[in-house]
Structure 1
Amino acid sequence: MEFFDAKQWSGKIASGGWVSGDGGTRDVVSPATGKVIGQTGLATPADIHRAATAAAAAQPAWQATDYATRSEVLRRAAAVIEERSDVLQDWLVREAGSAKVKAAFELHIVTGLLHMAAALPLAPYGQLLPSVKQRMSFERRTPVGVVGVISPFNFPEILSIRAVAPALALGNAVILKPDPRTAVSGGLVLSEIFAEAGLPEGLLHVLPGDADAGAALVEHPLVGVISFTGSTAAGRAVGELGAKHLKHVQLELGGNNAMVVLDDVDVARAVSAGAFGSFLHQGQICMTTGRHLVHERVYDEYVERLAATAEGLPVGDGATTDAPLGPLIDAHQRDRVHQLVTSSVEAGARLAAGGTYEDLFYRPTVLADATVSHPAFAQEVFGPVAPVTRFSSLDEAADIVNRSEYGLSLSVLTNDPLRGLALADRTRHGIVHINDQTVDDEPVVPFGGLGASGNGSRIGGFAANIDAFTETQWITMQSEIQPYPF
């Protein structure tokens, strides 16, 4: 049977095999064409409960499995992705609205994340501790048990696998609730990948569902950790619910990331970086460059060049063209983007490029003369929109940067990196790039944001992943029972 045969999974969820969800089914719709390209099952709280029970039952044997075997499963999963990249890329293009180059890049990162996770079972997982008593005292890290992962639509495979893979590698079972809009590429296909890689049954459950399924996952007593990636509004609700149930909740949320362009830059290169940061995957990235702060001495040239770049970028269906930009995910998101653009123009911003759309294809847009009060500058747009404002001093730039409640990624472009570092020192961000744009990540990097961008939790790299998906246990051992005065 061919890999990921729709005859098996159509209308199903993945929980102990392909089974029907209690919530019925949901159509998979291509944002580029509006056509139905598949059908998935929908999970309910009852499905979450059954999956959590099964996962908790399967997990102890996986925890006891030797590290070499667990590592090999992760390596085989990476190999499956490389072998089946044509199928996986096709789904990313058709279901998530990815351009071909973005889909290929996403699969490359996913493979790297799996290789990184494959090394985790080999890492030291504890240390000896001093003690005033004659005994051995040490701390070790033990698996949480069952990890819940809630992932979004924009980079569905990356943002699922970056939690799923390390959690499995460290001996946990996982329940994944992908966004229903990208439930195939963000979830169901991962079940097939891990099954082909030899992951024992019961350790990975993929349950597309709505908000009630997500709430049930957060609340379930057998789920010890929740890894959530999504909007700040949804993240606040997940964090509040998780706190009520004393859960460790990792929140990777939105961003309104600033790129600060100082007056000593190569403007052409700065524009190239700014266009990539704002327009990659139609701006539907938490790290997207949402605010361009440009020194007044290079402002006019920067705006002119950025607008010309935006006008020259083709937009189209990645399934039939090589256009670098595809469609927005749905009409709701398109209408929100357009409302932010039009209300900003009405408030005084100048439309230098774009501002139009056809179906879900929104043209890359440049809003010049933006101010901190304009909606597209003040809010996370999550669309291909580059608001540009001017500043005259580092003090003014720092003040504008710090007016945002978000603290994910900051970019500073300058011929003097120490000036960039001095500006970074005056802001609070989880990520700072000097002489690079805001969209960047690597498997070995602990990733996370501050403020409205997240609660500072990190995933990525050895230490952060171990901290995220294991618990600390203190153990002492004595050769005999000591006498006590009771």
Structure 2
Amino acid sequence: MTTATAPYIDFDGQYIAGAWRPGRLGRTGVDTDPYSGTTLAEIALANEADLDEAYRAAESAQHDWAALLPAERTAVMLAAVTIMQDRREEIIDWLIKESGSTRGKAELEWQLVHAITAEAASFPNRMTGMILPIDEPGKESRSYRQPLGVIGVISPWNFPMYLSHRSIGPALALGNGVVVKPAEDTPITGGLLLAKIFEEAGLPPGLFNVVIGPTSEIGDPFTLHDIPSLISFTGSTGVGRRIGQLAMQAPRIKRVALELGGNAPFVVLDDADLDDAVPAAVLGRFLHQGQICMSANRFLVDASLHDEFVERFVAQVEELEYGDPHDEQVTIGPIINQKQLRAHLANIDAATKAGATQLLGGAPDGQLLPPHVFVNARHDNPIVQNETFGPIAPIVSVHGEQDALRLANATPFGLSSAVFSRDEERARRFALGIRAGMTHINDHPVADTPTGPFGGEKNSGIGRFGGEWIIREFTREHWVTARHQSASYPSPYTRGGGTRT
């Protein structure tokens, strides 16, 4: 952040129709630091009338925005890129104190947000149409690509700024209006901070709106509202199912882009290089306390390497520091809230009762939970079958490649995955056998880029984010034909007059 740039302030309400104002619900939400418990903001919450105003503002502003020249929309996106660079430290600080990000994770998230904004700046010039072949003389067939209109975004708390902005940035660049409902734990980094950035970048008022309110008040109406053409949701499979059902029940059926839960297998084949596999396993599980949908949720290690893998893995995990996320030496920060912490403790208890052996662990300190490592976990153990979303690592011994592939696919989820082998061709064949949207060879499964097709299979979601894929998700194709000369229609349709039968 440059010395001339004053920090953003006044995160105490909604951003609707280009105005910062309190919500009308008559209740206040308290935004707290999950490590210290310090109050960061008290926000006057929105009700359904606020939501309606936000959608109508986005619809009204979208038409003129879509009509701008591509270079004009690109200029706003590039201005936002520059602001993000100037405010890098300010953004990182907010990510640390609101979402419990460690310094390293917050820096990574800033990089992702910055990168997707720069990528989105190219989108106005990539909304290409097509002239299609047609077997009719004197007629032309065209496909036009147009904005959807207004897109509703519901984002989670774990990577709040990035998982909001990977929808917001592309949607705006492609000529859409946006309304975002950020997670109640991260209203600033998930929405209000982006609103400040785009306001400073010169985005027309009303085009981007942030509504912060309880799900009980504005959750279902957010999807059921008549204006949005698409709902982009990142979160749990259960909530995603609900949004998909509501999207079909709404008076105006709408599209959905759903990035849901995961249960990523981290597979170590019998020829894997443990010098590569073990550090990747530690990062892939414990980055951001395991609170990532792509986290390595279960380790499937060939029996021939199992004991050595466990020994090395435990040794490296024991060296991880947990505590104040502002401390650059800390790699594991706080769990986001007490509800999540209670769920982790229940998972740990269930794992032990189901026969798993705990090698590392410890009691929580406030919302800090030390890393937990289990072995002797059968594949039906709850910590193997469920997405734990915390610093809990189960290691499962497998017997050969086919056993590993069978267990990798023995889940209703299919988001990310990883496989380690010295033979890259073998690993490629194995990767293609996994029913998942993404597989990473000799690397951890927590990977995302602004140009890759990010998304899942099975119960992990519908649609793809990134690059050409998000352009297709957030636009519509309009088929238009044009006849350049008189047609020769069949004679029954061209006779003059008419007869009554």
Same fold (TM over 0.5): yes
Of structures 1 and 2, the larger Rg is shown by: 2
Cα shift at 1:452 = 1.1
Does residue 127 (structure 1) correspond to residue 130 (structure 2)? The answer is yes
Q: Which residue of 2 aligns with 1:471?
A: 476
Q: Which residue of 1 aligns with 2:278?
A: 271
Does residue 458 (structure 1) correspond to residue 461 (structure 2)? The answer is no
Cα shift at 1:40 = 2.3
Q: Secondary structure at the match of 1:226?
A: strand
Structure 1 segment 27-426 matched on structure 2, within 5 A? 27-131=30-134, 132-211=136-215, 212-245=217-250, 246-320=253-327, 322-426=329-433
Alpha-carbon distance between aligned partners in 2 of 1:128 and 1:423, rounded to the nearest angstrom: 40
Alpha-carbon distance between aligned partners in 2 of 1:20 and 1:55, rounded to the nearest angstrom: 18
Q: Is the 8 A contact 1:13 1:41 kept in 2?
A: no
Instruction: Name the Cα RMSD after superposition.
Output: 1.5
**Aligned with 2:28 (options 15, 20, 25):** 25
Cα shift at 1:217 = 1.6
Q: Per-residue displacement from partner, 1:430-484 (whole Å, max 9, x unpaired)? A: 00111111110111111100111112x01101x2122111111011223466475
Q: Is the 8 A contact 1:13 1:43 kept in 2?
A: no
Q: Is the 8 A contact 1:13 1:42 kept in 2?
A: no
| Counterpart amino acid of residue 93 in structure 2 | D
Alpha-carbon distance between aligned partners in 2 of 1:481 and 1:356, rounded to the nearest angstrom: 81
Cα shift at 1:3 = 4.4
Q: Is the 8 A contact 2:11 2:188 kept in 1?
A: no
**Residues 3, 471 of structure 1: alpha-carbon distance in 2 compared, 3 angstrom cutoff:** farther
Q: Is the 8 A contact 1:458 1:468 kept in 2?
A: yes
Does residue 429 (structure 1) correspond to residue 436 (structure 2)? The answer is yes
What TM-score do the two structures reach when normalised by structure 2?
0.94
Q: Which residue of 1 aligns with 2:499?
A: none
Q: Which residue of 1 aligns with 2:18?
A: 16
| Counterpart amino acid of residue 111 in structure 2 | H
Q: Secondary structure at the match of 2:219?
A: helix
Q: Which runs of 5+ in 2 are unaligned?
A: 495-501
Counting matched residue pairs gives: 483
Alpha-carbon distance between aligned partners in 1 of 2:42 and 2:290, rounded to the nearest angstrom: 27
**Residues 148, 411 of structure 1: alpha-carbon distance in 2 compared, 3 angstrom cutoff:** same
Q: Secondary structure at the match of 1:356?
A: coil
Cα shift at 1:209 = 2.1
Percent of paired sites with the same residue: 39
| Counterpart amino acid of residue 296 in structure 1 | A
Alpha-carbon distance between aligned partners in 1 of 2:477 and 2:272, rounded to the nearest angstrom: 48
| Counterpart amino acid of residue 49 in structure 1 | D
Cα shift at 1:81 = 0.8
Bigger Cα displacement from structure 2, 20-29 vs 62-71: 20-29
Q: Is the 8 A contact 2:16 2:57 kept in 1?
A: no
**Residues 75, 357 of structure 1: alpha-carbon distance in 2 compared, 3 angstrom cutoff:** same
Q: Is the 8 A contact 1:328 1:362 kept in 2?
A: yes
Bigger Cα displacement from structure 2, 166-175 vs 301-310: 301-310
